[in-house]
């Protein structure tokens, strides 16, 4: 062997990056304890033992004793426990040194004495001379390794250790673990990985090497590669709880330990890939920033398949189709083995409406990662588009199971761990099922009882795997998950590319929307008083959400009046808040306050408000949601109201954010829906300044929503048909009530803050003696509980409408900063899919924190537009996050949505603000929908629509056989061979009530061919040849429309 070559082998360099440090974690498994590498065997090869005993008396200092360990650990190469092994080693040593054994022994002794004297360089020079003569001298190699180690030349120490490891494969894996440690210290991470990979080749049953590889790959964001080693740890019955947990979701980050101490932060390393995965999936960093860092990683590691696959996934999930085409042309070999590659391809195919190929790609992702919830979600959507709806019910159930496992796994108790084990067994993930059963046994103290079952399962799984190939096993698992053969669907043809026909950016030169604040001119002088400090100083959680707005014609003069909720004071001090306000719009064309005369100045800590006909007398009443006792004001018909809060016995301590009125049980009388937020007195005492974490709503107990059904005595009684509400409290915010699915009975959607949304669907009651319908929570089944990313979000505002004009009601839901909005589009079977990316809303909504939102055809071109109010809930400007934010206008069209440049809509849309509540109205009856907006830091704005618009029609509805407000009625119009659908809704979004009118923009159509109304009770009326550009009143059962 050429020793000059041995010592001149260049060690592989690794790049380092200025990335932020990985979050601290346990490092005990990274700094390898020597006792873990090799146990001493006192039956040494006699010659080596003699050397160690002669040169290392017990009085030696610690450095010398450390050397004994290195000698011992490395001399174990070839050492055994019987004379046969010892003689074999001795023979090997003698053959390597030949006649110069004595000289080499003396040379090693002399070199060690130099080392003892602190003359490390001279000792190393002496050892190198010995190795030139006897390159296989284990003693010399051992001393050289320790000398390099003492000099801090860890790369050379690791290289020599790897050489020694090859001399005896039976001990090689233990030595390679030590080499891994040295390579980490010298920053050669690829060599460190190679050490462990070789150790696995030498001994696939070594627990430590699999654990270290799982730790390394997880820290580097190579989650799929890490999962293979975790599963091997399960096979070896050595898996730890966190390792088991790491298999639940392979798309997010998961650190078992921290390698931060080994990364200098100067150049790019694969640990940056781990950080990038965290930035993208957990921190929700801006996609542009993420992709910039990804390009740096790909340039540094062009052959890394995990980086290439994640790159594709990010491009697909952010809709960058041109970049995807370039990405697909430049992939390193082996990328197709990564599940994220196939997930990216599936999303790309779906964006191009190539759903057959998307189904196959999603299936290939699931073959490799059966826990990939987003690929399963995408597959379900593509199956529906291709007309294979019959194959989706079971898939939806499995997706619901995977979503539930994802939510509970981290903090699962013994009972939940058993449930997870059972579900994973049913999904053909037997090793993970065993791991969770072991975890349950450890938590419940039932290990002795579980051991026979664990042994039985282990033997059965091993036998199953021995009788099949890896491909057959993966196919069997996939067939169990899907219930059909994925190979019936075609593989994607990447050389063929389609541009989706309907989703193209709108032309910027179209006529822009323009809405101007006219509140001062109309003498609407109102500002919400809540106590929140707009300068970012100390605040309480109850001061954050703002106050409600209700558009109501309380005196029936045909003009819109406005009811405003107020707060101030504290919720615990009754009557300490400012009184709510009622503003009447007079014939003189201005608003005047009528609060005192109307007797509606409740001084509770106001939240949402609702206008509706509680007692069905034809006069709109008011409902006030408070932190505290809620209030009902009954309209007396003479300009005054009566406090009738005793009609229902809502708890005085509830924090009700939104309140709605609609018939939900089918008895033709309106019921009250309370959306509640926090049920925790600590929320009234905890305050925050710089450290805003204690004020996060998720720190407090969530509140259960309630439904109050109309009783025969005119009051309201809490429904016992929605028991799941009490069992599943959430932080409720936005509310929309109407007949979503076209079946009899109203449904309602609740946007929940930081948790799963609720969607309560009316179903036939088992006992119809009192009412024909009952409520069933169906958000998970219907697809609107969470967005496309599979995680719950901070959902707040809700806007409803038929955004894609397919005749089904869709939902637009605002979310937190660094979270995209959700655009839940509904299909004919009644299932929702989050299409925010496809419709151009993902990126524009990502950098804002949205509250109130409304949908209306603001330019009457036939397509709904969107308005959103934004503003943060705490001051994080020191982190580069805006506090006040500008509102947004999105122009809708056949192509999706386009964010309008803020300088074009009027001065209001340029203004930084803490926006909260938003409602719609047509205050001046010009056929252009206007907006009224509430804020924490600005007066209420009445935004008059001054856009250039086309033709329109508006319909007011009065129910006769149904409840008078006709919530749930569906109006469909046709004109010039086009059709539009609208609904009479309650709740109306975030703490508000819109003007009760169904508005349609009809583009160039000057006449309406047909108006069809389907009333809540199921009756249908049709009106032909109706003139456009007018408002009409439709009364249930009356044969003609009345122009207003």
**Residue 61 pLDDT more than 70?**
no
| pLDDT score for 891 | 97
94 band by pLDDT with thresholds 50, 70 and 90: very low
E strand segments, 894-950:
896-899, 915-921, 930-935, 941-945
pLDDT for 839-851, tens place per residue? 999 989 999 999 9
Looking at every residue in the chain, the average pLDDT score rounds to 87
Question: What integer is the mean pLDDT of 127-134?
Answer: 85
Q: Give the sign of the dihedral formed by CA 341, CA 342, CA 347, CA 348.
A: positive
Give, in order, the Cα–Cα distances in Å from 815 to each of 167, 346, 374, 611, 820. 60, 26, 19, 26, 7
In the sheet where 896-899 sits, what is the strand order? 850-856, 865-870, 888-893, 896-899
Residue 56 has a pLDDT of 33
Which letter does DSSP use for residue 714 in this model? S
Residue 989 has pLDDT above 60, yes or no: yes
DSSP output for 860-921: -SSS-EEEEEEB-SS--GGGT--SBB--EEEEEETTEEEEPPTTSS-GGGG--B-EEEEEEE
Confidence (pTM): 0.81
CA gap 49, 954 in Å, rounded: 99
In this predicted model, what pLDDT tens digit does every residue of 417-471 receive, in sequence order?
999 999 999 999 999 999 999 999 999 999 999 999 999 999 999 998 898 898 8
Query: Which token pair is 511?
Result: 């006529």
- Encoding tokens for residue 935? 């804020």
User: What radius of gyration do the chain's Cα atoms show?
Assistant: 35
Residue 510: its pLDDT value, please? 58
> Rounded to 5 degrees, what angle do the CA atoms 405, 696, 786 make?
35
Q: What is the pLDDT of residue 101?
A: 63
3-state helix, strand, coil in the chain (%, to 5): 35, 20, 40
For residue 843, the Cα-to-chain-centroid distance in whole angstroms is 15
Instruction: List Cα–Cα distances, 679 to 574, 651, 700, 772, in angstroms.
Output: 17, 11, 7, 32
- Residue 84 pLDDT > 70: no
Cα–chain-centroid distance for residue 7? 51
Closest CA relative to residue 855, chosen from 864, 847, 846: 864
Q: Which two tokens stand for residue 420?
A: 């997870």
Residue spans per domain, the chain: 3-260, 515-957, 958-1043
Give the dihedral of Cα atoms 810, 816, 819, 821; nearest 10 deg: 20
Residue 718 in this model has a pLDDT that exceeds 60: yes
- Confidence grade of residue 534 (pLDDT, cut at 50, 70, 90): confident
| Separation between Cα atoms, residue 630 and residue 483, nearest integer Å | 50
Domain spanning 3-260, CATH architecture: Alpha Horseshoe (1.25)
Q: Is the pLDDT of residue 753 over 60?
A: yes
Predicted pLDDT at 641:
98
What pLDDT was estimated at residue 46?
26
Question: 189-242, pLDDT tens digit by residue?
Answer: 999 999 999 999 999 999 999 999 999 999 999 999 999 999 999 999 999 999
C-alpha distances out from residue 36 to 124, 232, 300, 571, Å: 27, 20, 34, 60
Assign 2 to helix, strand or coil: coil
Tell me the per-residue pLDDT of 276-324, one tens digit each, with 9 for 90 and over.
999 998 877 888 899 999 999 999 999 999 999 999 999 999 889 999 9
Mean pLDDT of 131-138: 82
Question: What does the pLDDT look like over 950-965, one tens digit per residue?
Answer: 999 999 999 999 999 9
pLDDT single digits (tens) 785-799: 998 877 778 999 999
Sheet of 978-983, strands arranged across: 978-983, 970-975, 1007-1014, 1020-1027
Q: Name which of 608, 604, 562, 565 is nearest 733 in CA terms.
A: 608
Which position has the higher pLDDT, 475 or 691?
475
Locate tokens 């016992």: which residue?
720
Contact 983, 970 (CB under 8 A): yes
**Do residues 857 and 1000 touch, judged by C-beta distance below 8 A?**
yes
Beta strands in 535-604 (DSSP E): 549-552, 561-564, 581-585, 591-593
Q: Which two tokens stand for residue 625?
A: 């949601």
User: How distant is the alpha carbon of residue 147 from its chain centre?
Assistant: 51
pLDDT of residue 47: 29
Alpha-carbon distance of 463 to 321, in angstroms, equals 45
Task: Using the structure block, give the residue that is written with the tokens 């419940």.
Answer: 444
Identify the pLDDT of residue 498.
67
pLDDT given for residue 844 in this prediction: 94
The CATH T-level fold of domain 515-957 is Methylamine Dehydrogenase; Chain H (2.130.10)
Least confident of 125-129, 480-484, 520-524, 690-694: 690-694
């Amino acid at each position: 062997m050429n020793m000059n070559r041995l010592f001149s082998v260049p060690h592989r360099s690794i790049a380092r990056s200025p990335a932020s440090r990985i979050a601290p974690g346990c490092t005990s498994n990274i700094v390898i304890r020597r006792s873990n590498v090799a146990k001493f065997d006192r039956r040494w090869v006699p010659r080596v033992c003699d050397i160690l005993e002669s040169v290392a008396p017990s009085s030696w200092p610690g450095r010398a004793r450390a050397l004994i360990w290195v000698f011992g650990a490395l001399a174990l190469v070839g050492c055994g426990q019987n004379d046969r092994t010892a003689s074999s080693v001795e023979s090997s040593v003698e053959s390597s040194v030949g006649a110069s054994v004595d000289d080499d022994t003396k040379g090693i002794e002399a070199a060690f004495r130099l080392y003892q004297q602190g003359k490390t360089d001279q000792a190393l020079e002496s050892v190198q001379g010995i190795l030139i003569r006897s390159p296989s001298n284990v003693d010399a190699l051992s001393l050289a390794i320790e000398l390099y180690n003492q000099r801090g030349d860890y790369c050379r120490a690791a290289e020599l250790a790897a050489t020694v490891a090859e001399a005896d494969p039976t001990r090689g894996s233990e030595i390679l673990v030590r080499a891994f440690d040295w390579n980490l210290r010298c920053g050669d991470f690829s060599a460190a990985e190679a050490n462990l990979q070789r150790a696995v080749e030498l001994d696939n049953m070594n627990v430590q090497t699999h654990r270290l590889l799982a730790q390394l790959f997880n820290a580097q964001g190579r989650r799929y590669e890490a999962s293979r080693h975790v599963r091997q740890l399960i096979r070896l019955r050595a898996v730890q709880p966190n390792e088991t947990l790491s298999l639940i979701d392979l798309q997010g980050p998961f650190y078992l330990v921290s390698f931060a101490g080994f990364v200098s932060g100067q150049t790019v390393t694969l640990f940056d890939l781990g950080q990038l995965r965290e930035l993208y999936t957990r921190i929700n960093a801006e996609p542009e920033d993420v992709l910039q860092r990804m390009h740096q990683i790909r340039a540094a590691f062009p052959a890394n398949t995990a980086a290439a696959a994640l790159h594709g996934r990010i491009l697909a999930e952010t809709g960058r189709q041109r970049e995807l085409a370039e990405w697909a042309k430049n992939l390193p070999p082996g990328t197709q083995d990564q599940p994220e590659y196939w997930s990216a391809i599936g999303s790309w195919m779906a964006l191009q409406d190539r759903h057959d190929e998307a189904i196959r790609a999603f299936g290939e992702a699931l073959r490799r990662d059966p826990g990939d919830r987003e690929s399963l979600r995408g597959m379900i959507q593509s199956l529906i588009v291709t007309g294979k709806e019959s194959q989706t019910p079971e898939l939806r159930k499995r997706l619901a199971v995977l979503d539930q496992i994802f939510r509970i796994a981290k903090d699962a108790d013994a009972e939940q761990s058993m449930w997870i084990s059972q579900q994973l067994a049913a999904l053909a993930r037997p090793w993970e099922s065993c791991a969770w059963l072991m975890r349950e046994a450890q938590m419940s103290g039932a290990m002795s009882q579980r051991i026979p079952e664990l042994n039985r399962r282990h033997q059965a799984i091993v036998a199953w795997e021995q009788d099949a190939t890896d491909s057959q096993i993966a196919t069997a698992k996939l067939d169990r998950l899907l219930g059909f053969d994925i190979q019936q669907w075609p593989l994607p043809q990447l050389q063929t590319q389609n541009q989706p026909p309907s989703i193209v950016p709108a032309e910027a030169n179209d006529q822009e929307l323009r809405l101007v604040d006219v509140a001062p001119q109309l003498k609407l002088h109102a500002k919400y008083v809540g106590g929140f400090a707009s300068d970012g100083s100390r605040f309480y959680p109850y001061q954050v959400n703002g106050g409600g707005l209700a558009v109501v014609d309380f005196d029936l003069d045909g003009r819109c009046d406005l009811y405003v909720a107020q707060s101030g004071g504290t919720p615990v001090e009754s009557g300490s808040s400012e009184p709510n306000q009622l503003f009447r719009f007079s014939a003189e064309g201005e608003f005047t306050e009528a609060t005192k005369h109307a007797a509606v100045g409740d001084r509770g800590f106001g939240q949402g408000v609702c206008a509706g006909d509680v007692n069905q007398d034809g006069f709109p009443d008011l409902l006030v949601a408070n932190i505290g006792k809620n209030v009902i004001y009954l309209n007396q018909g003479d300009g005054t109201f009566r406090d009738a809060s005793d009609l229902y016995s809502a708890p005085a301590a509830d924090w009700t954010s939104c309140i709605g009125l609609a018939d939900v049980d089918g008895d033709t009388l309106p019921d009250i829906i309370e959306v509640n937020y926090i049920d925790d007195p600590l929320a009234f005492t905890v305050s925050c300044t710089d450290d805003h974490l204690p004020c996060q709503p998720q720190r407090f107990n969530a509140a259960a929503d309630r439904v109050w059904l109309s009783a025969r005595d005119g009051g309201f009684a809490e429904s016992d048909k929605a028991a799941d509400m009490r069992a599943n409290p959430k932080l409720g915010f936005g509310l929309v009530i109407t007949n979503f699915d076209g079946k009899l009975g109203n449904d309602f959607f609740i946007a929940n803050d930081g948790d799963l949304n609720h969607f309560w669907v009316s179903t036939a009651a088992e006992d119809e003696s009192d009412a024909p319908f009952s409520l069933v929570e169906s958000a998970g089944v219907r697809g609107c509980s969470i967005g496309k990313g599979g995680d719950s979000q901070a959902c707040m505002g809700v806007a409803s409408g038929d955004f894609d004009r397919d005749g089904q009601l869709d939902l637009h839901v605002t979310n937190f900063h660094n979270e995209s909005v959700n655009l839940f589009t509904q299909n004919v079977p009644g299932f929702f899919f989050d299409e925010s990316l496809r419709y151009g809303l993902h990126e524009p909504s990502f950098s804002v924190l949205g509250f109130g939102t409304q949908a209306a055809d603001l330019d009457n071109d036939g397509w709904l537009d969107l308005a959103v109010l934004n503003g943060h809930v705490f001051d994080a400007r020191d982190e580069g996050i805006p506090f006040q934010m500008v509102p947004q206008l999105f122009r809708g069209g056949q192509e999706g949505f386009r964010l309008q440049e803020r300088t074009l809509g009027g001065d209001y849309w340029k203004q930084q603000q803490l926006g909260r509540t938003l409602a719609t109205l047509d205050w001046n009856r010009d056929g252009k929908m206007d907006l009224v907006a509430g804020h924490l830091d600005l007066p209420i704005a009445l935004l008059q629509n001054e856009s250039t618009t086309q033709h329109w029609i508006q319909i007011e509805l009065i129910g006769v056989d149904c409840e008078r407000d006709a919530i749930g009625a569906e109006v469909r119009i046709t004109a010039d061979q086009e059709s539009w659908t609208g609904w009479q809704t309650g709740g109306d979004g975030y703490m508000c009530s819109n003007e009760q009118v169904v508005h349609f923009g009809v583009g160039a159509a000057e006449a309406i061919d047909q108006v069809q109304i389907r009333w809540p009770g199921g009756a249908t009326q049709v009106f032909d040849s109706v003139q456009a550009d007018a408002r009409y009143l439709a009364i249930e059962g009356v044969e003609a429309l009345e122009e207003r």
